[in-house]
Amino acid sequence: MRTRPTLSWTPTEDLRPGTTDPEPVADALRTGGVLVLSGAGLSTESGIPDYRGAGGSLRRHTPMTYQEFTTSIHARRRYWARSHLGWRTFGRARPNAGHRAVAAFGRHGLLSAVITQNVDGLHQAAGSQDVVELHGSLNRVVCLSCGAFSTRRELARRLEEANAGFEPVAARLNPDGDADLTDEQAGDFTVLPCSECGGILKPDVVFFGENVPPHRVERCRELVDAATSLLVLGSSLTVMSGLRFVRQAAQAGKPVLIVNRDPTRGDRHAATRVALPLGATLAGLADGLDIPVDGRPAD
């Protein structure tokens, strides 16, 4: 049975309204040792939709689950047809002002690391170092039989050759890199096996219904322990994969600061939530701290 991912959460208590004053975030950055936890909201300005915002994809789209992907060739055909088409757009996405500001904070020694729930690789493309990809990366493909890794670019080339003339028009792009297609549009799309052993290929991302690898969770817990504060950027914190680190930081007495326009499931653990657009807010913080973005020298 295909289960529907968690769409939202309902507050069980009154939450403080968000502020439009980003100064608490600036103060945390001045102190240094800030651990960033980023979500899909950070990438919307790069043209990648989020899951749970006002126009989030989960309101119209149920992502592939791990159980369905691994047990049904028809599901894999549908997934790879949609994902192959979506990759043409997803793979061209570029870092926005928010990603570039985070990279600038890192270059100037204000951050301890970045944990991202995103699978788009845009933090690294912007120049961030020490990035933990909590949910993996669409830039890699893994074989479920032999464990061999390959690049998504190489698989895209192979799929192009095997599916010449596959040019349906997709309705929308989704945050997990696939595109909205009907089953009829997916048609008889050719799914390719691992070139090493013939096994099932899967993008190296954590699907709904799949657990984050324990060693990755443990690494993130270590980063929370070592951080001075936790800065959440563009995440609703609806699911436990990110919320657990907010709870861990709060329980340890570390300040939790959130920049997200809408209320989040982590608000009650946070010292403040800044309800402002991410790109402009983070760029403004960099400017206020006299930190050049993109490596350009300050005026």
- Binding-site annotation: residue ranges for Zn(2+): 143, 146, 194, 197
Is 123 tagged catalytic?
no
Local structure of residue 236 (DSSP, 8 states): -
CA dihedral 219, 5, 234, 128 (to 10 degrees): 40
Q: Is 250 exposed, middle or buried (0-12, 13-18, 19+ CB in 10 A)?
A: middle
Single out the catalytic residue among 84, 135, 215, 269: 135
Residue type, position 259, single letter: V
Q: What is the DSSP string of 247-292?
A: HHHHHTT--EEEE-SS--TTGGG-SEEE-S-HHHHHHHHHHHTT--
Phi, psi for residue 104 in degrees, rounded to 5: -65, -40
CA dihedral 211, 155, 70, 58 (to 10 degrees): 60
Q: What is the SS3 string spanning 131-172?
A: EEECCEEEEEEEECCCCCEEEHHHHHHHHHHHCCCCCCCCCC
Local structure of residue 241 (DSSP, 8 states): H
Residues 6+ apart with CB under 8 A from 214: none
For residue 95, the tally of other CB atoms under 10 A from its CB is: 24
Q: Where are the beta strands (DSSP E) in 57-134?
A: 111-116, 131-133
Q: Catalytic residues, which ones?
A: 135
